[in-house]
Amino acid sequence: MTEIQGPAPGFHRHPNHHISIHASDGEWRALQGGIVLAESDRVRIFEETGYGAVVYFPLDDVRTEALMPSDSATACPFKGRAEYFRLAADPDGPDLAWTYPSTYDEVVDIQGFVAFYADRISIQEISSLDNHGEIN
């Protein structure tokens, strides 16, 4: 169930913390061992103070049959409540992706999107107007 929780309490406590979310002009792919887990030209790039850029894929462009929910959940004072996924073929493996079904007002643009750990999944920009690359 998606839910908006109101203003993020983290920004009140940390006014110098910044988050930006923007659409990418390119097409992106998330791969694990040669298996495409997501591919989209509708990703959102999420940038946050102290962290590298994160690519969020629309849930409709994620191969959800290849993933299974894990028991993990976290709460972020800037984003909201996160839920995590593992590979369905490796139910005892590590979490590989997350989503925020419940967000604060400032980041509602990532609801319905899934991000992958860039150190566990290969995330590649496969086409763009001006650049090609990989998120590390």
- Secondary structure in 3-state letters for the chain: CCEECCCCHHHHHCCCCCEEEEECCCEEEEEECCEEEEEECCCEEEEECCCCCEEEEEHHHECHHHEEEEEEEEEECCCEEEEEEEECCCCCCCCCEEEEEEECHHHHHHCCEEEECCCCCEEEEEECCCCCEEEC
Q: Please give the chain's pLDDT, 136 residues, in tens.
A: 566 677 899 999 999 999 999 999 899 999 998 899 999 999 999 999 999 999 999 999 999 999 999 999 999 999 999 999 999 999 999 999 999 998 999 999 999 999 999 999 999 999 754 454 555 4
Pick the CATH number of 3-126 from 2.170.150.40, 3.40.50.300, 2.30.110.10, 2.40.160.210: 2.170.150.40
pTM above 0.95, yes or no: no
Segments making up each domain of the chain, as ranges = 3-126
